[in-house]
Amino acid sequence: MPDVQGAQRFELRDAVAADASELAELTTAAWRTAYAEILPEGFLGAMDVSAREERLRERISDPGLACFTIVAISGGRCVGFVSGGPARATADGGEVCAIYVAPDHCGRGFGRSLLGAAAARLADAGYTQARLWVFTRNRAARRFYERCGWRAEAGRAYWRRDGLRRQLTCYSRSLAKGARLDEARLETAITR
């Protein structure tokens, strides 16, 4: 690729258990930034990084799960990740379960590359449809998904935790053969 001013070289690879600590820190920072106007400060401040690290380590280390986690590495550190697998709420299709980029790396193409890699992984697993859920009030994320070819569905659900309740919107996209997945067919090392 041509050298573009401000371009960063990064690598996408499957997560390993040793990434769990960094991913837990990244997730917590992303939640505290992205959801500051959606969730109460007290909830975000009380997030337990060590518990999240343990859950991520278990998920990444369990070969019996039909799930994946792909990380973006730049400058020797994890700057984003995406997780996916079989849809949790329906019997058909795949799902992007989580996608987070370090707040200081947003807007640099990491999210688009991670989302594309997840769509490719789901398509390679034989899924023809993919879904993801987003806080309805998270307008920035919704615009991002729409720019990446995802479309809002009529379906709604609710995220519930610690007495909190927030509306979620479902997004989907086709993964069928012939669907536009060119952004998803990525090489391991990418220059943006």
In a domain, 3, yes or no: no
In a domain, 4, yes or no: no
Q: Is the pLDDT of residue 38 over 90?
A: yes
Alpha carbon distance 18, 72 (integer Å) = 14
In a domain, 191, yes or no: no
Mean pLDDT for the stretch of residues 127-131: 93
Average pLDDT, the chain: 86
Residue 179 pLDDT level (bands cut at 50, 70, 90)? low
| Total number of domains in the chain | 1
Looking up residue 25, the CATH number of its domain turns out to be 3.40.630.30
Local structure of 91: helix, strand or coil: coil
In a domain, 110, yes or no: yes
In a domain, 130, yes or no: yes
Considering the chain, what percentage of its residues have pLDDT values greater than 70? 87
**Which tokens sit at 145?**
């998904």
Mean pLDDT for the stretch of residues 149-175: 92
The reported pLDDT for the residue numbered 190 is: 35
Lowest mean pLDDT among 2-11, 31-40, 93-102: 2-11
Mean pLDDT for the stretch of residues 138-157: 91
Enter the pTM of the model. 0.85
Mean pLDDT for the stretch of residues 28-57: 94
Place of tokens 């070969």: 63
Lowest mean pLDDT among 4-8, 130-134, 183-187: 183-187
Task: Give 94's contacts (C-beta < 8 A, 6+ positions apart).
Answer: 84, 85, 86, 87, 122, 125, 127, 129, 130, 131, 175
Q: Is the pLDDT of residue 6 over 60?
A: no
Q: Which domain holds residue 33?
A: 9-182
The reported pLDDT for the residue numbered 5 is: 38
The reported pLDDT for the residue numbered 169 is: 94
